[in-house]
Structures are given as structure tokens and as C-alpha cells.
Amino acid sequence: MSRYEDIVHMWQDWRIVSASDMDTRLHNFRILFAYHSGKIENDSITYHDTREIFENNRTVQFTGDPRTLFEVGNQKLCYEFLKHKIAAREPLTVPLVLETHAVLTGGTYDERRFVERGERPGTFKKHDYVTGRAEVGSLPEDVPGDMAALLDEISGFANGDILSAAAYFHLRFEYIHPFADGNGRVGRTLLNYFMMTHNHPPLIVYDEDTAIYYAALEAYDKAETIEPMVEFLRSQTERTWEKTFDRERRRPIEQGQAAQEVEDPESDLGEER
């Protein structure tokens, strides 16, 4: 069994069925995910500020762009918004995608997009924006239909290769580029939504690995191949959960040792003191 499969089994053995279960298992994950996902597109985001906002709803001695604080705070709000839906295994729908975008991007649109172009959080783009070296992106008038088709395509997915399905969903979402801003943050959040509603562990796209991440996106933009993204998501899942998995694997051994010491109180008296 591969490391990735071991981690998937660990996640499934936790039997996460409620928002409370998610809070227990994702306490540290949600902070790290918010930090790295934000850092990809905003260098001024720091881990310290992210943790402060998640744990205390504020940060001190911050002198940067207020947009940075909105982005981090929105990630926390989005986790709270989505966790009950994930626990209930609600499918991805167009209204849910739009609501997620509204929560994640509220207060973060720049003046040009908001005032001059009339773009708004929670609505599909009104103007044509392209992304990547291949300059991909659906035309504004095609976005509603393209998104509905993508969500319909994955809605019936039940059993099978969840990782490949998640990679395809993420690649198509970023290829469509449905919003004027926030496509990366929303796409990575919905990627994890899809994974968790199919009983697979969420993952962090680490800031240090963005070059590999962008290369996988570009491979799809150029040749519609999903394999680089599948392998990237596999490696990021392993990286995200490897320490937790190692702790879980050691726990039965440590518990067995503790039980032995209780049963045999003289077991540690083999040497003179």
C-alpha cells in the first residue's frame, strides 16, 4: 500500500460525520491552508498574522494593506461557511460556487475592478480576463454554461479514482477562470470541498511548490493532460498529512507501552537508582 493510500485510509478511519469532527481533525490544517493558499497570490500574508486571525479574530502591529487581512479573515469565514455543508456531503452547485466566491473575496476587489468595471464578489465575471501563458479563460457570456456543464459532469461521480476526478475538476475550473478575481483561492477551496465530500483528505498547495503547481496547470492549458496535476495533488496530500500519519501510527505502540507499565509497575526497575 502506498503512502497516499495509507493517508486516505487514516482519514476514512476517522469517520468524519459532523462539523465538530472537522474542527477536531482540521484545527491546524485550516490555518496552514489559509496561509499557503493566500501566500501564493499575496506575498505580504504571514503565518503569524494568519494564526492570530484564526485564533483571536485580530492581529496586532500589522501595518500592511488591509486587503491582506480581509483575505485571511475571509478564509476563516469560508471554513465556517462550508464545514456543515461538507459534513452533510452537499454536492457542488452553481449557487454554492458563487456563495463561496462571495465569502472569500468580500472586501478584496481593487478599485478598478469594483468601480470602473462593475465586478462584484459572488458573481461571474462581466469582462474578459485571461490567465496563464496560454491565455485561457471562458468568455463572460460562456461562463455560466461552462460552469454548469462542469458541475453536472462531476455531480454523478461516486466511486472510482477520486484524485483524478478532483484534478480534472480543479484544472477545468481554473481553465474556465469564471471570476474577475479570486479564481485561485476559490478553486483550491472547492478542490478540497470535492475531496472531503467524497471522503478523501483535503490538501495544502504549499507556497514553496507553486512552480510545480503552475506547471501542472499549464500542462492542461496546452494539451488537456491531467496526469501532472494528479501526481502533484498526490504529493501534496502526502506532504500535508505525513506528520499526522506518523503520529497516528506510533500511537498504538505508545499506548501498548503505557498499558504494560500499568500492568507491571516494576517493569522499569531493572536498574539500580
Domain assignments of the chain as residue spans, ordered by start: 3-251
Helix axes 94-105, 143-155, angle to 10 degrees: 110
CATH fold for domain 3-251: Fic-like fold (1.10.3290)
User: What's the pTM value of the predicted model, to 2 decimals?
Assistant: 0.89
The DSSP H or E segment spanning 147 is helix 143-155
CA distances to 11, 67, 243 from 248, rounded to whole Å, are 11, 38, 9
pLDDT of residue 64: 77
Q: What is the mean pLDDT of residues 123-135?
A: 88
Decide if 267 contacts 261 (C-beta within 8 A).
yes
CA atoms in the 13 A half-sphere facing the CB of 1: 7
Which stretch, 24-28, 42-46, 135-139, has highest mean pLDDT?
24-28
pLDDT of residue 254: 55
CA atoms in the 13 A half-sphere facing the CB of 52: 11
End-to-end alpha carbon distance in the chain: 45
pLDDT of residue 252: 65
Residue 31 in grid coordinates: 490555518
- The 10s digit of each residue's pLDDT in 191-231 is 999 999 999 999 999 999 999 999 999 999 999 999 999 99
Four-CA torsion 168, 215, 104, 159, nearest 10 degrees: 20
Q: Measure the CA–CA gap between 223 and 60, rounded to whole angstroms.
A: 47
Q: Measure the CA–CA gap between 193 and 170, rounded to whole angstroms.
A: 11
| Closest C-alpha among 223, 221, 239, 242 to residue 231 | 239
CA distances to 81, 150, 152, 165, 187 from 155, rounded to whole Å, are 21, 9, 5, 11, 16
Around Cβ 74, how many Cβ atoms within 10 Å?
Answer: 24
Q: Measure the CA–CA gap between 208 and 205, rounded to whole angstroms.
A: 9
Q: What is the mean pLDDT of residues 16-36?
A: 96
Around Cβ 17, how many Cβ atoms within 10 Å?
Answer: 11
pLDDT bucket at 257, cuts 50 / 70 / 90: low
271: exposed, middle or buried (Cβ count in 10 Å: 0-12, 13-18, 19+): exposed
- Return the higher-pLDDT residue of 212 and 116: 212
